[in-house]
């Protein structure tokens, strides 16, 4: 997903952080955890440049992460499921805290589909559309901010490396400003369970951002942890961030 991401470890710490999680969502998360086992699913977290892959048909995932910025901390939990086979739906929430104790929350939703499936040494592409609603909004609309983008993924070296590219659009609900967005990222396999990631992307005006990090599977294709460092190109430490994340993926279990 092409939104800023961060962490929580373990995932149940995230749930305690978000007292506004509804009961059905907690049930979904617990079902996901109970259905963990080995399988063949790739991961996108912690990259902001999205991949042209979706969760397995009738399966779900939970991405949770925290991000430490200069002057604020962000916490996210983002469940997603593939109910139909080629449509991944995500609905999650975030909380941001600043040193003076003020907290803000937001809700994000997204739909993602593929027009071409990824095969070894092949490529895939798709479409993602979503929005984010901020707490305290008085606007009578589903979301404050809207976005859409086309993700593409290329498999290299027999799935030991991947290249991702995004081209998209976003609209700021508060200012009404629209802008083009883009991202380019790569994943390189270091060991059977560890990957090195790197990317550069632009979601705001000014110079692009970059992010580098490591992703590691605790249980192959089912339980993943990661950590990253990011900043704006040519910037000092004022815009840097660190993130730590946890991702859980299930076997197919939906009706």
CATH number of domain containing 239? 2.40.160.40
- Residue 96, domain member (yes or no): yes
Q: Where are the alpha helices (DSSP H) in the chain?
A: 11-17, 23-34
Phi, psi of 241, deg, nearest 5? -150, 160
The residues of the chain scoring below 50 in pLDDT are 2, 4-43
Within the chain, what is the greatest distance between any pair of CA atoms?
51
Q: Specify if 5 maps to a domain.
A: no
* Residue 2 included in any domain: no
Q: Considering the domain boundaries, does residue 105 fall inside one?
A: yes
Structural domain range at position 128:
11-249
Number of domains making up the chain: 1
DSSP 208: -
Whether residue 214 lies inside any domain: the answer is: yes
Question: For position 100, what pLDDT does the model report?
Answer: 82
Helices (H), 11-164: 11-17, 23-34
Query: Is 64 within a domain?
Result: yes
In three-state secondary structure terms, 32 is: helix
pLDDT per residue over 99-114, tens digit each?
887 888 999 999 999 9
Task: Report yes or no on 156 lying in a domain.
Answer: yes
pLDDT score for 65:
96
- pLDDT value of position 139: 63
């Amino acid at each position: 997903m092409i939104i800023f991401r961060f962490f929580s470890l373990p995932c149940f710490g995230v749930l305690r952080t978000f007292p506004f999680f509804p009961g059905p969502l907690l049930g979904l998360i617990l079902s996901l955890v109970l259905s963990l086992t080995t399988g063949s699913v790739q991961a996108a977290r912690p990259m902001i440049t999205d991949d042209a892959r979706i969760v397995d048909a009738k399966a779900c995932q939970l991405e949770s992460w925290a991000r430490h910025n200069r002057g604020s901390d962000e916490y996210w939990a983002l469940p997603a499921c593939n109910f139909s086979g080629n449509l991944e739906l995500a609905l999650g929430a975030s909380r941001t805290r600043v040193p003076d104790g003020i907290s803000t929350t937001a809700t994000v939703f997204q739909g993602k589909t593929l027009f071409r499936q990824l095969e070894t040494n092949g490529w895939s592409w798709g479409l993602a559309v979503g929005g984010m609603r901020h707490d305290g909004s008085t606007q009578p609309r589903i979301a404050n901010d809207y976005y859409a983008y086309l993700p593409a993924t290329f498999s290299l070296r027999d799935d030991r490396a991947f290249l991702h590219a995004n081209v998209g659009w976003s609209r700021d609900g508060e200012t009404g400003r629209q802008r083009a967005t883009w991202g380019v990222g790569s994943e390189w396999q270091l060991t059977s369970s560890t990957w090195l990631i790197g990317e550069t992307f632009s979601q705001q005006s000014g110079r692009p951002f970059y992010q580098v990090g490591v992703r590691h599977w605790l249980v192959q294709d089912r339980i993943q942890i990661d950590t990253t460092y990011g900043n704006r190109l040519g910037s000092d430490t004022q815009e840097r961030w660190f993130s730590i994340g946890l991702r859980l993926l299930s076997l197919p279990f939906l009706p």
